[in-house]
A and B are shown apart, each in its own frame.
Chain A
Amino acid sequence: EPEVTQTPSHQVTQMGQEVILRCVPISNHLYFYWYRQILGQKVEFLVSFYNNEISEKSEIFDDQFSVERPDGSNFTLKIRSTKLEDSAMYFCASSSLGGDGNTIYFGEGSWLTVV
C-alpha cells in the first residue's frame, strides 16, 4: 500500500537553529499538508499546499515556517530559527485531491526536540 514517508524520524536541535523536515507524499497525490502534535496535545493543522503554493495556513504557521516542493517528489517544512515550543511531532500528509470526499493519509511523523 502506498504511504507517506518522512525523514528524519527524530531530530534534536539547539534553539535558534534551522531545521528542515522532509516528506515524500504518495506519488499520485496533489495536495500536501503539515500537521503537528505537541506531546499530550491535539493534532493541529499547520499548512496545506497545492500547485506549488500555500492554499491555507493556520496562525501557528508564522514567518519562521516555510514549505517547499523542491522537486517532483519531496515536500519540505523548514523552521528558520527553532524555539523550545516548536518541540513536537510533525506529520506530513497528502491526498489525491483537495476536495471533500478524499482521504488524507499521514506519514509516520518527525519528532523534533529543541533544546
Chain B
Amino acid sequence: EDKVVQSPLSLVVHEGDTVTLNCSYEVTNFRSLLWYKQEKKAPTFLFMLTSSGIEKKSGRLSSILDKKELFSILNITATQTGDSAVYLCAPRAYSGAGSYQLTFGKGTKLSVIP
C-alpha cells in the first residue's frame, strides 16, 4: 500500500523563523511529487518536483526531491503570518492506462505567530 508520511504534523514558529517540512514516501510507480498549501479550503499548488537534487524556488519557498532516499523537503524562510496553513505533500504515481494518481500525506500544520 502506498504510504506518505509528513513531519512534523504540527509546528508553531515566530515570524521571521525558517522552517523545514519533511515528506517521505513509498509509492509504487512514482513519477513526481507535488506540494500544496491548504489554508481554509482548496489545496493551492506550490511546486512539482520530478528530478532528484534540483531545487525549485518561489520567493521564500523552496523544495527539493531525493528519489533515492524517497523524500522531499519544503523550506520556508523568513516566515510570515500569511504562511500559516496546512502543507500537503502528494506523490504522483502512474496507475496504468495513461492514468496518474496523487496520494496525499496528512499534512503539516504550520502556525506562524507574530
Contacts and interface: CB of A to CB of B under 8 A. Distances in A.
Interface in A57-115: 89, 91, 98-101, 103-109
Interface of B: 31-32, 34, 36, 41-45, 48, 50, 88, 90, 92, 94-107
Q: Interface centre among B32, B42, B44, B92, by most A CB within 10 Å? A: B42
A48 B103 CA distance: 13
A101 B98 contact: no
A103 B36 contact: no
A55 interface: yes
Contact of A43 (B43, B44, B45): B43
A50 B106 CA distance: 27
A44 interface: yes
| Binding site secondary structure of chain B | strand
Interface residues of A, number: 24
> Taking each of A41, A56, A91, which has the highest tally of chain B beta carbons within 10 Å of its own beta carbon?
A56
B32 to A, nearest CB: 5
A42 B42 contact: no
B43 A99 contact: no
Contacts of B43: 43, 91, 106
A98 B97 CA distance: 11
B34 A104 contact: yes
Contacts of B92: 100
Contact of B42 (A50, A91, A99): A91
Nearest to A109: B41
B41 A56 contact: no
A45 B98 contact: no
Interface string A22-55: 0000000000000100000111110010100001
Contacts of A55: 97-99
Contacts of B90: 43
